[in-house]
Amino acid sequence: MDAENIPDTLDAVMAIVRPVVECNQTQVDNGRVYLREMVFGDPAEPHHGEALAITGQTENAVAAVLCRDAQVSEADAATAARVVSAVTFLAMAASVNVAASVDEIVRDIREQIAVLLTR
């Protein structure tokens, strides 16, 4: 189900985040290297630029979900979406999560985002 059709904000955000985690965890070691390159790599390198563009699209999708709440400004939604990206990146890259399942990582991310959304 598309995030835009999910009424609950947290569930909608997680509908965007979960496929990212699933893709990244397909090959854990490669996924962690990929994340490291996204954070520290050369943004002028073509694949790095593509990865950053995908991250930007994901953040825009999360921000759109957050903006469904009339009390959330576009600027706040964009900032919160960047926080969601940061939480997601750290949860996927953390060495303590190397052996974690997709469901465990998604649960960790969900718990953190739930706190963010209650503010």
Q: DSSP alpha helices (H): ranges in the chain? A: 9-24, 28-40, 46-66, 74-93, 102-117
Whether pLDDT at 1 is above 70: no
Quote the percentage of the chain above a pLDDT of 70.
99
Whether pLDDT at 96 is above 80: yes
> Between vectors from CA 62 to CA 52 and to CA 38, what angle results, nearest 5°?
20
Q: How confident is the model at residue 108 (pLDDT cuts 50, 70, 90)?
A: very high
Q: What is the mean pLDDT of the chain?
A: 91
90, 39 Cβ separation under 8 angstroms: no
Indicate the pTM of the whole model. Answer: 0.90
Whether pLDDT at 10 is above 80: yes
